[in-house]
A = this chain, B = another copy of it.
Amino acid sequence: MPRASDTSLPFGDAVLRAPPGSPWKAWQIDPDAERRKVSLEALDPGARPFSSGDKAADRAAVERLATEIDELQNVFHPDGRYKLLVVLQGTDTSGKDGTVRGVFGRTSPLGVRTVGWKAPTEPERAHDFLWRIHQAMPGNGEIVVFNRSHYEDVLVPVVNGWINPAQTRQRYAHINDFERLLAETGTVVLKFMLHIGFDEQRQRLQDRIDDPTKHWKFSLGDLDVRQQWAQYQKAYEDLLEATSTPWAPWTVVPGNSKTHRNLMIATLVRDTLKALKLRFPPDDPRLKGLRVT
């Protein structure tokens, strides 16, 4: 029986591939490598590969890009051939919420839907771990942004030892198969790992503790998770190695600079939407010269 289909994407391979020589290339986990090693230590969270060198100019560029994304969404929707899933993963304080606001803050909520994933509920736990994820998928012409995702299921249980390495590998395979189904049926899957440093996290958590208006973003459990920093980094490296596929590759986003993080993600989302060569659906010929009376 066929175990896996030849990947043939309705929107063409190039859409998901960092072009050689682009600043994206060094940060995309090579989807063509059969075996690869990912070292997050070797990827500087303070890097700014997409920066113009001028912070104010970068900020203005983010604003322009966010507007451009809104305009592209206005064609993406009626075009209706594709779906877009943007996955944001990263440790606490890595900037997932800030990315949603910065990159999609100018897009009409009609055109983009955000899903924030928490610990699974009882009915969710009674099903496979991709059941709730599949339900939340975008339909044709829809953009969905995941704040956390199914990748939590190969992070938290791994770090806490609730599943063993064989089960983890099984989940990687389930995820790859699932994302292949999505991609081959018209979903562009962009996966961003927001990468901040240990010290940057310390400052951001401290800030949440010191600022009463940020208390709602903080829970004491975040400090326990911080104690497991090294284990989480390792689990991230493992999943980046295992699930950066030709049909749904990962990009690591250096995240110590919030402006640069938004600049990089907004650029890549804009470029991806442009690469789709969106168009309005073919005209109804009866509309030609029609006068409303």
Chain A residues near B (Cβ < 8 Å): 1-6, 8, 83, 123, 126-131, 134-135, 137, 139-142, 166, 169-170, 172-174, 176-178, 180-182, 184-187, 241-245
Please state if B4 and A177 are interface contacts (CB–CB under 8 Å): yes
Q: Which residue on B lies nearest to A242, using beta carbons?
A: B1
A130 touches B181 (CB 8 A): yes
* Contact between chains at A166 and B129 (CB < 8 Å): no
* Complex Cα spacing A128 to B184, Å: 9
Q: In the complex the two chains form, is A4's CB within 8 Å of B1's CB?
A: no
Docked-complex contact A4 and B139, CB < 8 angstroms: no
* Alpha-carbon distance A170/B141, docked complex (angstroms): 23
> With A1-B176, A180-B177, A243-B1 given, is the CB distance from A170 to B8 under 8 Å?
yes
With A8-B166, A181-B128 already in contact, the answer to whether A3 and B176 are too (CB < 8 A) is yes
Asked if B2 and A242 sit within 8 Å, CB to CB, the answer is: yes
Copies in the complex: 2
Q: How distant is the Cα of A245 from the Cα of B169 in the complex, in angstroms?
A: 20
Pick the contact of A174: B5, B129, B141, B187 (CB < 8 A): B5
Chain B, residue nearest A183 (CB):
B128
Closest approach, in angstroms, between the C-beta of A45 and any C-beta of chain B? 24
Task: Determine the distance from Cα of A176 to Cα of B174 in the docked complex, in whole angstroms.
Answer: 11
Q: When the two chains form the complex, which single residue of B6, B128, B177 contacts A177, counting CB atoms closer than 8 Å?
A: B177
Q: Which of B127, B142, B173 touches A4 (beta carbons < 8 Å)?
A: B173
The residues of B that contact A180 with a CB separation of less than 8 Å are 174, 177
Q: Which B residues lie within 8 Å of A141 (CB)?
A: 126
Sample 9 A-B pairs with CB under 8 A, ordered by A number: A1-B243, A2-B169, A4-B173, A127-B139, A128-B187, A130-B134, A134-B134, A174-B181, A178-B178
Q: How far is A245 from B177 in the complex, measured between Cα atoms in Å?
A: 16
Q: A243 vs B2: C-alpha distance in the bound complex, in angstroms?
A: 8
Out of B1, B4, B184, B242, which one reaches A244, CB within 8 Å? B1
Taken together as a complex, chains A and B put the C-alpha atoms of A262 and B293 apart, in Å, by 64
CA–CA, A241 to B2, complex, Å? 10
**Contact of A131 with B137 at beta-carbon distance under 8 Å, contacts A180-B177, A244-B1 already known:** yes
CB of A173 within 8 A of CB of B2, answer: yes
Q: How long is the Cα–Cα vector from A140 to B172 in the complex, in angstroms?
A: 22
* Interfacial chain B residues near A1, Cβ < 8 Å: 172, 176, 241-245
| B-side contacts of A243, CB under 8 Å | 1
Docked pose: A30 CA to B135 CA in angstroms: 33
Q: Tell me the bound Cα distance from A181 to B134 in angstroms.
A: 12
